[in-house]
């Protein structure tokens, strides 16, 4: 009885998620109208919060300083690194500033480092003479490699004075090195090209932490304590709070930031457990959403924030399916004949792998050298890759239950 209840509850969740995902897939195929008008001169400020990033920082800064944008600067926020992070920042050129944080105030999370970076920019006078409406702050991870045309792609979104933030696509620059890296790349492509693209028309585009562009005046509306919270997913919190303040959030599909995929399964689960725990912490945003966000984006945001609960419930499906399959196999042995036909497996396949065809189609449009057939095959593996979230979810829940809220930094290679 309990197994049947778990099985049918999990199937109901999968069907509900399937309907939701299908709706977003259809909506994501719509095109965003092109914006016309003269280009306004804006200052772009790239923030890089760094903790022991000597392995990847130089390449990321080289990409930024090589941008064909006329008016920009980068700020490296060294969060008390004990490697060569500061030396690399100092050697990167005149357009790169360094702000070094010291213990015991440092190493309190990415949000705290970014808030301190914005305070440093304001107090240093670097932004003097610039209208906050025309200052665009971009958060880039230390391993982030921006497309050369990123400013040209993002800038038109800020012609609309209602736009508070724009998120660009995220890719893995080492996606060809291992299957695990390829699957992470597919994960971000699907999330950006399906979910984020659809949310442009709902009004609920989220910020991704890497490659998020924000109007400085919009950040100022989030309170004197600083735009970023101390949540483990400070980017999620920031996006929701911007929407609650009435700002529009956009998604740019024509530019990307590439980052380093995690090549160790254990490190990947560790990273995702931090994201999962941050989503659990974001449950505190529900009253704000109900109070301040219009109905359509509010419903989508509430569904998005409920994803940890849905993941934990869905994680019981494989177990309940195996128990049911084992029970049927034993009953077949006792009866001396097969009690189910091979067609019995068709239902679980349809439930589990129908989305793989849509995901393969979306990914093949980004990775044309991979081709549609190979992309669909990879998407089948991607379904099993999603089980990583089950392990990360229970780990994140255990960390939260035991009061562990430290920033689990992803190690670079």
The predicted-structure confidence for 5-25, as pLDDT tens digits, reads as follows 655 666 676 677 778 878 888
Q: What is the DSSP string of 66-126?
A: T---SSEEEEEEEES-SSSHHHHHHTT-TTEEEEEE-TTTS-S-HHHHHHHHHHHHHHHTT
Structural contact between residues 152 and 161, judged by C-beta atoms closer than 8 angstroms:
no
User: What per-residue confidence (pLDDT) applies to 57?
Assistant: 96
Residue 322: per-residue pLDDT: 65
Residues 409, 274 contacting (CB under 8 angstroms): no
Please give the mean pLDDT across all residues of the chain. 88
Q: 79-100, pLDDT tens digit by residue?
A: 999 999 999 999 998 999 999 9
Cα gap 260→143, rounded to integer Å: 6
HSE-CB at 345 with a 13 A cutoff on CA atoms is 4
Confidence of residue 29 (pLDDT cuts 50, 70, 90): confident
pLDDT at 148: 94
257 pairs with which residues across the strands? 146, 170
Six-digit token pair at 5?
């209840």
In the prediction, which pLDDT does 48 show?
Answer: 97
Q: What is the dihedral of CA 289, 293, 299, 304, to 10 degrees?
A: -50
Average pLDDT over residues 69-83: 92
Tell which residue, 255, 244, 157, has the closest CA to residue 204. 244
pLDDT reading at 32 higher than 80: no
- pLDDT score of 398 more than 80: yes
Residues sharing a CB contact under 8 Å with residue 217, sequence separation 6 or more, in sequence order: 131, 132, 133, 135
Report pLDDT for 69: 73
Residue 323 pLDDT exceeds 70: no
- Percent of the chain past pLDDT 70, that is, above it, reads 86
Structural element, H or E, at residue 145:
strand 145-146
What pLDDT was estimated at residue 329? 64
Burial class from Cβ neighbours inside 10 Å (0-12, 13-18, 19+) for residue 263 reads: middle
The answer to whether 75 and 99 have CB atoms below 8 angstroms apart is yes
- 361 Cβ contact list (under 8 Å, min separation 6): 372, 375, 376
**Cα distances (angstroms) measured from residue 256 to each of 17, 126, 135, 171, 259:** 27, 27, 20, 7, 10
Burial zone of 126 (CB within 10 Å; 0-12 exposed, 13-18 middle, 19+ buried): middle
Judge contact between 49 and 77, C-beta under 8 A.
yes
**pLDDT digit string, tens, across residues 326-358:** 666 666 666 666 555 665 667 678 777 888 999
ω into 104 cis (within 30 of 0): yes
3-state helix, strand, coil in the chain (%, to 5): 55, 15, 30
What pLDDT does 341 receive?
61
- Token duo for residue 60: 């990321």
């Amino acid at each position: 009885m309990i197994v049947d209840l778990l099985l049918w509850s999990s199937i109901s969740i999968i069907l509900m998620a399937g309907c939701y995902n299908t709706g977003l897939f259809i909506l994501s195929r719509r095109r965003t109208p092109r914006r016309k008008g003269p280009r306004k001169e804006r200052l772009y400020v790239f923030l890089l919060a760094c903790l022991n990033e000597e392995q990847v920082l130089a390449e990321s800064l080289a990409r930024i300083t090589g941008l064909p944008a006329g008016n920009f600067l980068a700020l490296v926020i060294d969060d008390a690194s004990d490697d060569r992070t500061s030396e690399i920042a100092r050697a990167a050129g005149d357009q790169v500033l360094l702000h070094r944080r010291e213990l015991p105030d440092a190493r309190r999370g990415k949000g705290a480092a970014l808030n301190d970076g914005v305070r440093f920019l304001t107090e240093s006078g670097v932004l003097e003479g610039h209208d906050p409406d025309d200052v665009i702050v971009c958060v880039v991870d230390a391993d982030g490699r921006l497309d050369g045309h990123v400013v040209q792609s993002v800038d038109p979104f800020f012609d609309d004075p209602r736009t508070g933030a724009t998120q660009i696509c995220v890719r893995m620059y080492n996606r060809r090195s291992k299957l695990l890296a390829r699957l992470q790349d597919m994960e971000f492509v699907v999330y950006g090209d399906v979910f984020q693209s659809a949310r442009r028309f709902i009004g609920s585009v989220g910020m991704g932490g890497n490659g998020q562009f924000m109007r400085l005046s919009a950040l100022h509306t989030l309170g004197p304590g600083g735009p970023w919270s101390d949540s483990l997913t400070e980017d999620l919190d920031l996006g929701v709070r911007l929407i609650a303040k009435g700002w529009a959030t956009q998604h740019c599909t024509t530019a990307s930031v590439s980052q380093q995929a995690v090549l160790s399964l254990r490190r990947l689960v560790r990273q995702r457990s931090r994201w999962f725990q941050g989503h659990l912490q974001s449950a505190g945003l529900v009253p704000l959403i109900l109070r301040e966000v219009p109905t359509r984006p509010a419903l989508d945001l509430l569904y998005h924030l409920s994803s940890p609960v849905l993941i934990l419930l869905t994680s019981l499906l494989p177990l309940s399916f195996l128990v049911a399959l084992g029970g049927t196999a034993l009953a077949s042995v006792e009866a001396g004949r097969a009690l189910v036909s091979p067609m019995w497996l068709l239902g679980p396949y349809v439930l589990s792998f129908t989305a793989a065809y849509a995901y393969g189609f979306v990914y093949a449009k980004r990775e044309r050298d991979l081709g549609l057939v190979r992309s669909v095959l990879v998407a089948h593996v991607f379904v099993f890759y999603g089980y990583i979230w089950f392990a990360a979810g229970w780990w994140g829940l255990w960390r939260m239950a035991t009061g562990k809220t430290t920033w689990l930094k992803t190690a670079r290679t």
